[in-house]
Amino acid sequence: EIVLTQSPGTLSLSPGERATLSCRASQSVNSNYLGWYQQKPGQAPRLLIYGASSRATGIPDRFSGSVSGTDFTLTISRLEPEDFALYYCQQYGSSPTFGQGTRLEIK
Amino acid sequence: QVQLVQSGAEVKKPGSSVKVSCKASGGTFSNYPINWVRQAPGQGLEWMGRIIPILGILNYAQNFQGRVTITADKSTNTVYMELSSLRSEDTAVYYCARGGTLGFDSWGQGTLVTVSS
């Protein structure tokens, strides 16, 4: 099983700042089948990024994803008030797994 | 775009089973896998298994092997997830999600299953 470790657990920032969320995989992720999801209270997760760096339909371009080996990064260039939420990374290969999540909170 | 509509909340006794449905509204599942993911209160996301309805191909997470059964009714565009031998730790919101090579791009609204004596 591929274990995904997200850091930090909580990130406190202000609107307009840049957010950098990390996700490290315990082994290589097949074909970069790595996604990022945003979840708000009482809602289902929403896909932001797939294939490590491709934005899903309708996702603003302030969200971007990158990869270096087994290290994946979600960057939000300028935080909007609606971006404060929980974020999960996921590898969706043969046996999908999720990271434990990063909470992005208003400072 | 296809929307996934799940069945309503359930309250079950320990040791019993629950069956949750996920219906494609406005289209079909086509050849996409349909996954089941659960989230216990205040906890993260846990993948349970998936089915490719058009092919009947199944994969289950090791943690749920022997306790979960996923089936599909192609005639009604509905996928079912049945979890047996319920215990209090199975109290969670259960989601279905369409997932392929482009990630889990469409999710149901979630079904709360409460296990309590």
Question: Between chain A and chain B, how many beta carbons pairs sit less than 8 Å apart?
Answer: 60
Backbone angles phi, psi at A76, to 5 degrees: -115, 115
Partners of residue A101 in chain B, C-beta under 8 Å: 44-45
Q: What six digits make up the tokens of A6?
A: 């997200």
pLDDT of residue A32: 84
Distance from CA of B59 to the nearest CA of A (A): 8
pLDDT per position as a tens digit, A27-68? 999 878 999 999 999 999 999 999 999 999 999 999 999 999
Beta strands in chain A (DSSP E): 4-7, 10-13, 19-25, 34-39, 46-50, 54-55, 63-68, 71-76, 86-91, 97-98, 102-106
pLDDT per position as a tens digit, B51-96? 998 888 999 999 998 999 999 998 889 999 999 999 999 999 999 9
Separation between Cα atoms, residue B67 and residue B83, nearest integer Å: 6
Q: Which residues contact A58 (CB under 8 A, 6 or more apart)?
A: none
Partners of residue A49 in chain B, C-beta under 8 Å: 103
**Which run of H or of E encompasses B70?**
strand B68-73
Distance from CA of A17 to the nearest CA of B (A): 26
Partners of residue B61 in chain A, C-beta under 8 Å: 95
Find out whether the peptide bond into B14 is cis, omega within 30 degrees of 0.
no
**Which among B18, B28, B32 has a CA at the least distance from the CA of B94?**
B18
* Type of residue at B57: I
pLDDT per position as a tens digit, B2-38? 899 999 999 999 999 999 999 988 777 778 899 999 9
The closest CB to that of B107, out of A45, A92, A99, belongs to: A45
The closest CB to that of B102, out of A50, A90, A94, belongs to: A50
Residue A9 pLDDT more than 90? yes
Distance from CA of A85 to the nearest CA of B (A): 13
Q: Does B76 touch chain A (CB under 8 A)?
A: no
